[in-house]
Amino acid sequence: MGGQKFEVDNKKHALIRASHQDYYFIILGFSNALGQPVCCVIIIAAAQVTAKDIMGLQPWAETIGDPAIDFEQNSHGTDKYYPYGPTCTIFCKTIPTFVTCSESGSFTSNILMDVLRHIGHCVGWDQSKVTPFLLLDSHGIS
């Protein structure tokens, strides 16, 4: 970190950020017309998304057995080794975080279509009965 060295006891975790410029991402929240959360979207500036990007990693969390073997017991939760992103529940359906990437880390029309497919797949909309629509709010950006 800026040429400065740090030592940490081998029973502790070094929680000092190595760089502020090595990992760029955007987090977007999708909500319905009632303002209820529908889906969390994370867009990472990268060529591809890895499993670790999707799962997240909290190496300081207590584990059950070996995290690589006892995967289910160590995943899905804020206090878990593999926490995953937040989930939203709408119409009694759970929608997991949608993690994707673009080279620039920006939101693209292809990502928008993928997010809408993800939400539609999780909710299971019958489009013969419901016509979904999308309202975008640019927050006053011109």
CB 94 within 8 A of CB 88: yes
Report the candidate in 89, 87, 77 with the shortest Cα–Cα distance to residue 36: 89
CB 80 within 8 A of CB 61: yes
Structure confidence by residue, pLDDT tens digits, 99-135: 999 988 888 989 999 998 999 899 887 777 777 677 7
For the full predicted model, state whether its pTM sits above 0.85.
no
CB 26 within 8 A of CB 106: yes
Identify the pLDDT of residue 94. 93
Report the candidate in 122, 102, 109 with the shortest Cα–Cα distance to residue 40: 122
